[in-house]
Amino acid sequence: MKYISTRGQTAPMDFSDVLLMGLAPDGGLMLPESYPQVDSATLNDWRQMSYPELAFAIMRLFATDIDEADLKDIVERTYTESVFGTSDITPVRKLEDNLYILGLSNGPTLAFKDVAMQFLGNAFEYVLKKKDERLTIIGATSGDTGSAAEYALRGKDNIEVFMLSPQGKMSAFQRAQMYSLTDDNIHNIAIKGMFDDCQDIVKALQQDADFKEKYSLGTVNSINWGRILAQVVYYFKAYFAVMDSAVQDSDKKVSFCVPSGNFGNICAGHIAREMGLPIDRLIVATNENDVLNDFFNQGAYNPRPADKTYVTSSPSMDISKASNFERFIYLLLERDTDRVHSLFDGVKSGKGFDLSDVMQTVSSRYGFAAGKSAHSDRLATIKDLYDNYNDLIDPHTADGVKVARELQREDEIIICAETALPVKFAETIFEAVGPIDIERPEHTKGLEDLPQRVVELDNKPSLVADEIRKVVAPSA
């Protein structure tokens, strides 16, 4: 399988090259030339597989340049009970009739990002060793990507990690997870601005061809295809778990509701659906930063500038420029690379775009719907689930449950993607249900009391580039 750019100016590449690259040289996002198709017989074969078996079966369709025995080893070392606390890796639990929660936050940093990052860390190390190369990871985080990446890459050979986060905009737990790491290859940078500013700096340095080549830049943000691929797996696993958990009425359909900021997680669901997984709808749940909600309901995509992005109690979704959105628009516009390039160049310069003329295709062909949730909604949802089901969820997952309940159709099963464990957002949990003891894994106890290491910088790509130059020697 070969990979191409959404902007059409990059030669077809192998999976291993795409894995290390981040943004395409033409500024677009890499994706397969076509998605492999899975028939009903294959789905039946897959439904009884363990998580590592299923991950290997799916990934081998996309990572065709990696020796199958090596890929299997990477997958089996990644998805273990010792890392994720359960052999199910991503267990599904029933909340109420026709409403389920997909548990994605059992990894070391208690967030769904671990499912992909743990794979990425092992895959990076393998590919770099094969190629005898090094990699300088530059990433941006609104809260969870950073810690998941750092825990997956800490101490890895031939990898330096520079993670940008918005100064003062993450929870105390999230900051402690990142800034308390003392590994020599981990470098935290707090940018005076919003997440979108951090993301823009990452893209600016990625698009500086000379700098990118000289310092071997890659990324772990969800623009990285390897992350998207790893996330595709749990959509299949969750679908099988729900359909096998009881004798389901054949008329019922299965949908997913996903809290969304950067469009990475739900993009993986979209790919699973394109492959042939019989998902009915993909429901985008946003917080007050509702740019994606506006698009999927009205057809207008109008990203806000950083100073117009709200700081909310579901901070990992405080994003107004959805970096993975371009992968979907590329298919929606029938692979018109010139138009995609033009639209997203406009976004880069602060312009939006209107595709209201194709919104019927968005819902009927691709199955998308959307809703939004605000602070009062997530507080009410957290309290309701705690009081009535003894089920404590984090604020982002609460956004998903609120939107799922609001949009659920008759006889529609909805699986809500959990994004993190509630202990990461204790302040909001206490506001919703009062001062309770929130369960936390042993390895996180006392985390907030550890010394923290972070460099604070103004919102300038040149300053981040200088930090990289201090640590990484340029290539010859």
Radius of gyration of the chain (CA): 21
CA atoms within 13 A on the CB side of 358: 14
Q: Which two tokens mark 374?
A: 């605000």
Q: Which of 2, 72, 94, 113 is catalytic?
A: 113
* DSSP per-residue codes, 235-287: HHHHHHHHHHTTT--TT-EEEEEEE-SSSHHHHHHHHHHHHT--EEEEEEEE-
Distance between CA 127 and CA 20 in Å, rounded?
8
Burial of 280 (0-12, 13-18, 19+ CB in 10 A): middle
To the query of whether residue 321 is one of the catalytic residues in this protein, the response is no
How far out from the chain centre does Cα 324 lie? Answer: 9
Burial of 451 (0-12, 13-18, 19+ CB in 10 A): exposed
Distance between CA 94 and CA 47 in Å, rounded?
19
Distance between CA 107 and CA 298 in Å, rounded?
37
User: Which residues participate in catalysis according to the annotation?
Assistant: 113
